[in-house]
Structure 1
């Protein structure tokens, strides 16, 4: 096991087990985490073996993350509880706010406890984007149109995550719900004034979040770059919103990230803007290019922030979790949402 501070890159792998090349890349000083996808999963036992091998590579252990929100964004399905889209909690909120917040806590707890039982440290959730309606990528991933409903439901989900031993990540800062294009395939532009965006920013101001993920959206009120590449937006997050946690980029391989050039330019610009951890996904050649050619001046404070996302409490094993009355009650609550 190598003793190595966590670097600023989060990368991925192609298969369900590590290759020699994967091990070499994951032990590179620039790497600090790995994101898993559906292609990396066959069943819970395979996942447990994969995460155990990843964690054994170095100390502190790499942060193992996944996009596991619920609804259509849930990478591991067979063997895991099917989680509802966050809009289901928003609909319940309209008639029964107390029941909705209790259910949101249950969703967060089950999400975290199940992932941690099989060695996954972290999920990029909750989505804090407001549901304005026409977005091609957010849709039912959002809790609600009203920011106070989002604050209440996301806050309950975050508390559930913490009960399951997992940190949170609010996304997509400063708000992706208003624009129509999908930043995976296009470059969205939001031309609203900063005053008009204050509703979108309210969840970031009021929630206690461990991390945020910046959006590949240009907000003309602040910058001609997307939020990921904007030192103005990161400065606003730190100094106006008063956020002290980790800032992630969204995937730098997305079409919305192409505004600044190739992958070397993307990682350098995002890091210079103030992002702590940079995601390079689904682009193995680009990972090779970055590991070979990027020579940043590493900021130890950023590495320390990322290390704080690693779980502090031991995970419950699967048998103990299944026997836990709180877990079983949470499953019943979720079953009512997905019925």
Structure 2
């Protein structure tokens, strides 16, 4: 029996090693394959239908057979009324989610979603964007805001909902909307600019390490991480921050001219209930309530652009899962009782 146990363990190790080697070879070969396209795909979900199905299922579970039969009869009558009113449709609602990172890389998907909406939008249609972001790089969020402005330029009513946070660059996006909703404790505002970086120059000097930096132009570099910073460089850096803040305030003022920018553009943030008093948002509500309210009268679609994963990534992930599964099964099989 001891011989069989040792043989089983040896076989398990051998099989595991072979499978791992094969998986690595597959990943290497897959990575050399040229992909025809790394573009993604646009997914459209009918949120109105999903809500109706949820409601129907709950009614069936909670009502008696007689009550449910009466409900279905009423539902058919409502559907007929909707069909008759289809010609006088008030338009569709398109919903987009934007959960932004520091560099606003998600703007690539946002661009595709908005382009798709602009391609099919008709008179009476509306767009709702759920924004969640604490801000980040100026150029990234500037582009994200410009994408939302495409809807305004096309005269498509735009609503932004803030459930958690829309601060700094996040609020730069939100302010483009015709109407802003915020949850009671959502964080809003932070109309300001911040930049910070460490400096290791004294540490380098302590260890007698030289650092050289050569530039053409007096302010090609204002502050540096490793070099010795000057008062002149610090002053220029601060001036650039102030200039960015002026542009930020002008952008917000363009879309929400009623705001007292002297009061709200201090870099501070406020919760939803405070923000409505300051004019930073228009109403207190969650995105769920806004969407459910719209779905009661109109058809609501969710737009989501997803980037396809590369073949090498899929194979590597699948191979990793397969190896782990085989290894775990072999361990269980050969474990002594």
Which bin holds the TM-score, normalised by the shorter protein? under 0.3
TM-score, reference length from structure 1: 0.27
TM-score, reference length from structure 2: 0.27
Considering fraction of residues, name the structure with more helix: 2
Which has the bigger relative contact order, CA under 8 A and spacing at least 6? 2
